[in-house]
Structure 1
């Protein structure tokens, strides 16, 4: 199945010149969504790991079914003030301003091996922040999975040293 055919491209969203990759059309197609998660499973079935980590919010959409399929736990990485327990935070810079992500302090035990799953690799800022949170807790990243990679934004370079895989490249 060619997953590119299942992803709608919306020109000039959220601003002029951007060609937004909309995965809702893929998610709406049960066969395509099932195929996507099956492909994720194939990408990591040879890896030894304990947890799947998904950054807010579309990392939840692809990460939880992956964790379910592999009988692994799932850990959400959230925007600030969304998690009820004690958290740690990583702040990162954007082109204009900054943002941050949080994870529960007790979500990952030192030495636990994790896979990160998300929908899109663009500049790599969100995933880099997620990696920093995991590593601060003593977690070991054994793989990073994306549905889509925007190769022209070179986010993979920011993730050098990690096993990065993507199903669709633009």
Structure 2
């Protein structure tokens, strides 16, 4: 019997089963998370290391200036974290009066980033590894370089075309 296989991708992909798993859009970020698990860390440690690595290897979609959200089950209780970053203290609703939507670019579109605060809060409450360990893979990618994927390369090009004239 022959089974027909018409893959959506150029390579064959198969499910992988393991005691621990990290799934991301970039293999280096997944490796960062897996390395935390291999060092005795838990899922929170892996998530933080993965997020930090993504800020380096996929900066067009993730970054230190990002927001973060988490729904976490600790085995007994459900926890939620909204680190969407507040608006600057001096802003009021009147600042945006008469606008039908938030500006897409410029200072009026910026909030205080929440990602780093989320990482710190999650690590303090649920993590087991120190921040130097959690950030080591991201620091390594930033210092030593990495192969930029074709998709991220194209997004950098688009970003350059879009924002290149900015001061």
TM-score of the pair, normalised by structure 2: 0.26
Structure exhibiting the larger radius of gyration computed from Cα positions:
2
- Name whichever structure is richer in helix by fraction: 2
Higher relative contact order, structure no. (Cα contacts within 8 Å, ≥ 6 residues apart): 2
- Name whichever structure is richer in strand by fraction: 1
